[in-house]
Structure 1
Amino acid sequence: MPFTEKRGNKWRVRWWSGKLDPDTGKKLYDSKSGFDEEADAYEYGLDQESALRNDRYISRRDGSTLMRDYCRTWPDTLDVGHLRDKAVRSMLRLHIVPRWGDTAVADIKTSMFRAWEKQLRTQPTERGTPLGKPYVDEIIGVFRMLMDDAVTDEMRASSPVPVVNRRRGRYVKKAKEKKREMVMEDVLQLASNALCYWGFPGFVFVLTKAFTGMRPAELYALRREYCHPAWPTADPDRDQRREASARYGTTNALPAIRVEYQHQRENGVVGLYAPKYESHRSLVIPPFLAELHEMLAASHAGEFVFTAIGGGLLANSNFSYHYWRRIADGREPTPPKQGGKARGGGSWRPLPGWPAVEAWAGKRFYLVRHGHKAWLDEDGHSRIATESRMGHEVAGVEGLYSMVTLGMEKQIAASLQSRWEQCLARLPEDWALPPSPSPLPVDLSRWMKQQVKSAKESWPESGS
């Protein structure tokens, strides 16, 4: 039973919190002061004991924990990858602790949360622009998990964050990124631009991206033993090698790539990690791309299939800025050197210049992956084969019962090869590859002429 006591002109009530001191084993009591009447204090104590009996009670001692203290230990309870862990700690440090650090966990109200969320969505960055909606949604998601765990830890009775599907306020249509159809002529121009800037590896890199839909980090970490022509024979996993050889090997002669790793940076060091969502998968490739990979593999003995211009890891470069923007947005010819330096601060390499690809100027490199998905949909491939190729899982009964068959993969390889050949069949007779900034390890011009000739013979109606 609660007991009351006079404290000056007010009454205080004390009640057992339901906990024992871990050192002495004595009961721990909570209390509340400031009541004018003894009856009111006693009634309040009865309410707290009732909440304790019905598992609704939140100890005032636990609820008084400051958010800065809770945020200091909470991230250690998360079982996430290193990049996610870094992002969560960053959002706590930059946004959650500065606003809520001096507030007790139990004192955060829903109205206070809504005001903070509104402020976040209009808060300007150092550049004067508001925080992006996806980033704010990430912050709110972290705060929601934080409050849900506070409820589990019996520091709050409920979360102050409203249910996600609750409609409140004005309807705001979700903004979607504008996309344009990825056409083969643009892809070929992008590959040609990469040839001018990057050389033969860049030409193959762009085509591999467009015809496999691999994520950028997966391409950066593509090792020789997991790429055609070495794979699956060179796969270090014996069981995986045996299974893949039976499916793609000499009997079916279906060239393929194995997505086994992606490059990520942890503590400033680039390392090999499992692909996003553990989406290990095998990707069949069309014959023309297989020939390019054979030539690329024969041109160097490096560990990774694609390397930076200087021979290092692509993951160590700002690919979007130093590679993709130059490839997609075009570039003027490099001015001649004067006094040992390039005029205008440009690259010292003698580059001929190349045109911008209008459909891709200013667009993200990742959208090439989206374009590959659209190709598969346009060619009518099954949803299970398409989503599996993209590294996604199909939910529900469809994903449980269906599977990707060898016939589905052969159809994908055939449709991608047809798309390549029909594009070449439409090229004008005087079409030629642009020059490369460095000597090519293969006679790429001769190979392309053979490809164009074969395509025009196979698809005469495409060129008319």
Structure 2
Amino acid sequence: MPYIEWRGNKCRVRWDTGRVHPDTGKKIYDSKSGFTDEDEAYNYGLDRESDVRNDRYISRRDGAVLMKDYCRTWPDTLEVGHLREKNIRSMLRLYIVPRWGDTAVGDIKPSAYRVWKKQLKAMPNVGEKYGEEILTVFSMLMDDAVEDELRPASPVPKTKRHRGKYKKKPREKKREMLIQDVHQLACNALTFWGFPGFVFCWTVACTGMRPAEVYALRREFCTPAWPASDPDAERRAEAGKRYAGESPMPAVRVQWQHQRENGVLKLFPPKYESHRDLVVPPFLAELLAMLLDTHDEPWMFPSIGGSPLANANFTYHYWRPIADGRESREAYERTQGGRVQHVGSRRPVPAIPATAYAGKRLYLLRHGHKEWLDEDGHSRIATETRMGHEVAGVEGLYANVTPVMERRIMDSLQRRWERFVATLEDDWMPSFPSPLPVDLSRWMKEQVKAAQDRES
């Protein structure tokens, strides 16, 4: 039972917390002072002891831990990837600690959380998706605070309540991926980047690989060397039987992606550990083989300077000129010392036309690859597996991608290519600033003739 003691003109109530000191074995009591009425103090103590008996009691000492102190140690308890941990620490430092740092963990109220949520979404530098990420991290933080017995419940509601006016979430506007648009991207890449850029665009469109996976595609995991060049003996044997047997299918293996850890570029497993083998159409297999013969780098797609693509800001320095187009850079004007100078570009590039992907993301080529698979009627398990996704539930448990499914994908992509190149004119070849390491014009003429022969 709680008991009351007077200190001057104020009284204090003490109650049994139900805990025992680990060293002395004595009971641990908690207290609250500042009462002027004994009955009020006594009833307060009864309520706390009721919380203790019903396992919902949070000691005043534990609940008084400041958020800035809790946020300092909380990230160390997470088991996430290095990029995710880096992002979480950034959100804590920039948004959560500045707002809640001097507030006790146990004093955060649901109403205060709702106000902060509204303020956060109104910040001009916080986009909608990033704001949702910050709120997700805060919700995780509060859930762990409950488990650590720093507060009785989370201030973040666990069920979606229809509060206020309904607002439909905006979705990115997309158009279908037309093969002629991919061809224009590839031609722009040929002008701006060279032969690796031409093959790069067709590889993304015909495999659906994530950009970081394409950057890290190494020659030992790419046709025609793979699967014979796979360093894993067991995988090499299995893949050899499947893709290099009596009816061979050219394929690449998604084994790595490039990420930076502490500023150092490293190889990491693909997103969601989605290692997978991807059959490619014969025309792309020929392009990949041609590209491999032009350089000795360990990665499939070298940058303009020969280094890994992941070292460059690919979106800004490669994708935007390729997708958006730009004026000729053969010569330009600059003002130096108050005088206007006409300077020849160190890397003159002809004018590049804008494409249907102007202002759009490279990632939409991955989306478009799934559109092609869906249009051609491939099974859901074959499509999702190729995209690096897992099909949940019984459907995913019982399903399996067979060689027949993969051959159908390879054939449908090849047919799509042949239908397109059969319509190509002779003047399709764009201008490019430096000689190509391969006779691409001759190769394309052979592709066009072969496609036209099949059509007839």
The TM-score, its normalising length taken from structure 2, stands at 0.96
Residue pair 1:67, 1:101 contacting (<8 A) in 2 also? yes
The CA distance in 2 between the partners of 1:443 and 1:410, in whole Å, is 29
The CA distance in 2 between the partners of 1:198 and 1:421, in whole Å, is 25
Matches within 5 A, 1:397-416: 397-416=394-413
Q: CA deviation at 1:110?
A: 0.3
Select between 11-20 and 449-458 the one with higher mean Cα deviation.
11-20
Counterpart in the other structure of 2:351: 353
Residue pair 2:210, 2:363 contacting (<8 A) in 1 also? yes
The CA distance in 2 between the partners of 1:189 and 1:300, in whole Å, is 25
* Amino acid across the alignment from 1:75: P
The CA distance in 2 between the partners of 1:346 and 1:13, in whole Å, is 85
Counterpart in the other structure of 1:124: 124
Offset from partner CA, 1:210-238 (integer Å, 9 cap, x none)? 00000000000001110111110010111
The CA distance in 1 between the partners of 2:315 and 2:383, in whole Å, is 26
* Amino acid across the alignment from 1:266: E
The CA distance in 2 between the partners of 1:35 and 1:314, in whole Å, is 68
* Amino acid across the alignment from 2:33: S
Counterpart in the other structure of 1:305: 300
The CA distance in 2 between the partners of 1:335 and 1:295, in whole Å, is 29
Matched, 1:29 2:15: no
Q: CA deviation at 1:426?
A: 1.8
Counterpart in the other structure of 1:446: 442
Select between 230-239 and 10-19 the one with higher mean Cα deviation.
10-19
Residue pair 1:337, 1:348 contacting (<8 A) in 2 also? no
Matched, 1:434 2:430: yes
Matches within 5 A, 1:63-78: 63-78=63-78
Offset from partner CA, 1:347-396 (integer Å, 9 cap, x none)? 52121222111x21111111110010111011110000000000001111
Residue pair 1:226, 1:260 contacting (<8 A) in 2 also? yes
Match of 2:311 among 288, 310, 316: 316
The CA distance in 1 between the partners of 2:417 and 2:138, in whole Å, is 48
| CA 1:223–1:50: 2 relative to 1, 3 Å | same
Match of 2:133 among 138, 154, 161: 138
Residue pair 1:67, 1:104 contacting (<8 A) in 2 also? yes
Matched, 1:217 2:212: yes
How many residues are matched? 452
| CA 1:356–1:346: 2 relative to 1, 3 Å | farther
Counterpart in the other structure of 1:5: 5
The CA distance in 1 between the partners of 2:255 and 2:407, in whole Å, is 21
Residue pair 2:331, 2:343 contacting (<8 A) in 1 also? no
Offset from partner CA, 1:307-346 (integer Å, 9 cap, x none)? 110011110111011000100111222233789x997888
The CA distance in 2 between the partners of 1:68 and 1:287, in whole Å, is 58
Match of 2:167 among 172, 190, 196: 172
Match of 1:388 among 385, 389, 400: 385
The CA distance in 2 between the partners of 1:157 and 1:347, in whole Å, is 66
Matches within 5 A, 1:210-359: 210-336=205-331, 347-357=345-355, 359=356
Residue pair 1:336, 1:343 contacting (<8 A) in 2 also? no
Q: CA deviation at 1:51?
A: 1.2
* Amino acid across the alignment from 2:428: A
Q: CA deviation at 1:2?
A: 1.6
The CA distance in 2 between the partners of 1:311 and 1:419, in whole Å, is 32
| CA 1:82–1:249: 2 relative to 1, 3 Å | same
Match of 1:364 among 361, 364, 369: 361
Residue pair 2:332, 2:342 contacting (<8 A) in 1 also? no
Residue pair 1:381, 1:412 contacting (<8 A) in 2 also? yes
Q: CA deviation at 1:303?
A: 0.6
Residue pair 2:384, 2:391 contacting (<8 A) in 1 also? yes
Matched, 1:197 2:195: no
Q: CA deviation at 1:151?
A: 0.5
| CA 1:346–1:74: 2 relative to 1, 3 Å | farther
Counterpart in the other structure of 1:17: 17
Offset from partner CA, 1:279-323 (integer Å, 9 cap, x none)? 000000000000011111111111100111001111011101100
The CA distance in 2 between the partners of 1:271 and 1:180, in whole Å, is 35
Match of 1:157 among 152, 161, 178: 152
The CA distance in 2 between the partners of 1:71 and 1:321, in whole Å, is 35
**Alignment partner of 2:293: what SS?**
helix
Matched, 1:81 2:81: yes
Counterpart in the other structure of 1:455: 451
Residue pair 1:4, 1:41 contacting (<8 A) in 2 also? yes
**Alignment partner of 1:299: what SS?**
coil
**Alignment partner of 1:371: what SS?**
helix
Q: CA deviation at 1:153?
A: 0.5
**Alignment partner of 1:264: what SS?**
strand
The CA distance in 2 between the partners of 1:116 and 1:423, in whole Å, is 54
The CA distance in 1 between the partners of 2:333 and 2:79, in whole Å, is 56
Offset from partner CA, 1:46-76 (integer Å, 9 cap, x none)? 2211211211111111000000000000000
Q: CA deviation at 1:171?
A: 0.5
Identity %: 65
Q: CA deviation at 1:199?
A: 0.6
Residue pair 2:332, 2:344 contacting (<8 A) in 1 also? no
The TM-score, its normalising length taken from structure 1, stands at 0.94
Q: Point out where structure 1 has 5 or more consecutive residues left out of the alignment.
A: 126-130
| CA 1:343–1:382: 2 relative to 1, 3 Å | farther
The CA distance in 1 between the partners of 2:173 and 2:8, in whole Å, is 69
Q: Point out where structure 2 has 5 or more consecutive residues left out of the alignment.
A: none
Counterpart in the other structure of 1:128: none
